Structure 1
Amino acid sequence: MTKVKICGIRNEMEARWALEAGADALGFVFAESKRKIDVESAAHICAGLPSEVMKIGVFVNETKEFLEEIYRDVNLDYVQLHGDESADFCHDLGLPYIKAIGVKEKEDLVGVGHFGGGLILLDSGNGPYRGGNGTTFDWSYADASTYHQQMILAGGLTAENVREAITKVRPYMVDVSSGVETEGRKDRKKIQSFIREAKSL
């Protein structure tokens, strides 16, 4: 069964909604974003999570020292790198990592194998931000990848399209943020619907 990550958690209530609905992972954004959370708040939320729930921090072009500090202080399970981090940087980091790849064209997946050793997150490259734009990409590009066992699929996923996405791409995990929001805030019913659809296959 495909795992589900609810990203952009900003408070305990949102975390509780996600857990009650069956989320396998929660994402906390430490990069500049409308969903950014401070370290103290994230650490407080993570301290109350069950051990089996993955705690993932989202970063863009941060230093190794900063990543190590937040990883330790928040007690994260993974750092998700949404910037221009190289394969060498990821390998030398010494932390469990998820490398996000923005996909506009099939050619954007060339070299994905160089990041082997961590999880790969395929997100839409369409939109003004590094992630959370609510846009999709052509899922047939992802199907050409040989990394299904370690792939996380993101980008424009909603309760209405997640079943189709999982069927076509067969990812290890699906990642949603804006697709479970109403007017920029997490929506409990949308979280429930998304996870129910994702786990119905």
Structure 2
Amino acid sequence: MKVKICGIKDLTTALAAIDYGADAIGFVFAESKRKITASKAKDIITHLPNEVLKVGVFVNETKDKIEEIAAAAGLTHVQLHGDETPAFSESLSLPVIKAVSIEKDLNLKEIEDYPCEYLLVDGPKGKYRGGNGFAFDWNSITAKDLKGKKVILAGGLHAENVEEAIKLIQPYMVDVSSGVESDGKKDLDKIQTFINKAKGSQTGGTRNEFIYTTE
């Protein structure tokens, strides 16, 4: 099972997450308490392994701004978390992760036809479009409902429920942000535990000591 740790703001946390087994790191460029600048994201991304996905999260941003930030920061993927149209998604130069909130009136067929490489299914909208820590009814959807899509499961995940969520949804990847935080900041022990649970391992290497410091 692949894991994405989102809302990263410093190099120490990014490297620790990767050391624990994270496959993707998310940087939020939309309004959020986890918002980061392109310059700061670049400082982090420069030190990350090539095989790790570097995902930029945007909400109803212009194409020019997305492309500008993606190039400046060194992103490999763009996550659209707003009301972006299929045509908008197709116009972008990088692979797209389209995020959708699972609501009662959701038309799964419309999602299935959306042009994107990955489909991120998230909980209900809150103050922000994502990262609110709200789960949806996992029995309401499975990856089989979205044929041809690599499904990323998000919304309200944490170490205590990620195994059940994976069993029910059978996604390609799981995505977590608030579920690995303590007092609003990323918690390295929670990140390690979450990744171990998601990948089906109860044991993991001891945390490395990094020479980098957070701001």
Give the TM-score range, shorter chain. over 0.9
Larger radius of gyration: 2
Q: For the structure 1 residues 133 and 108, does the alpha-carbon distance in structure 2 shift closer, same or farther, using more than 3 Å as the test? A: farther
Matching residue of 1:158: 158
Matching residue of 2:73: 74
Aligned equivalents of 2:118, 2:162: Cα separation in 1:
20
Q: Where do 4+ consecutive residues of structure 1 move more than 4 Å?
A: none
Report the TM-score, using the length of structure 2 for normalisation.
Answer: 0.88
Structure 2 residue ranges without an equivalent (≥5): 202-215
Shift of 1:33: 0.4
Deviations 1:143-195 (A, max 9, x none): 16224751100000000000011111111100000000001000011000000
Shift of 1:110: 4.0
Structure 1 residue ranges without an equivalent (≥5): none
Shift of 1:57: 0.4
8 Å Cα contact 2:117-2:149 kept in structure 1: no
Q: For the structure 1 residues 152 and 167, does the alpha-carbon distance in structure 2 shift closer, same or farther, using more than 3 Å as the test? A: same
Aligned equivalents of 2:101, 2:108: Cα separation in 1:
9
Higher alpha-carbon deviation: 71-80 or 86-95: 86-95
Aligned equivalents of 2:167, 2:148: Cα separation in 1:
12
Shift of 1:14: 1.1
Aligned equivalents of 1:32, 1:127: Cα separation in 2:
13
Correspondences of 1:1-150 after superposition (within 5 Å):
2-105=1-104, 107-143=106-142, 145-147=145-147, 149-150=149-150
SS of the aligned residue for 2:65 comes to helix
The aligned length equals 200
Aligned equivalents of 2:168, 2:105: Cα separation in 1:
15
**Corresponding letter in the other structure for 1:161:** N
8 Å Cα contact 2:89-2:115 kept in structure 1: no
SS of the aligned residue for 2:113 comes to helix
Report the TM-score, using the length of structure 1 for normalisation.
Answer: 0.94
Aligned equivalents of 2:29, 2:113: Cα separation in 1:
25
Among all aligned residue pairs of Structure 1 and Structure 2, give the percentage whose two residues are the same amino acid.
52
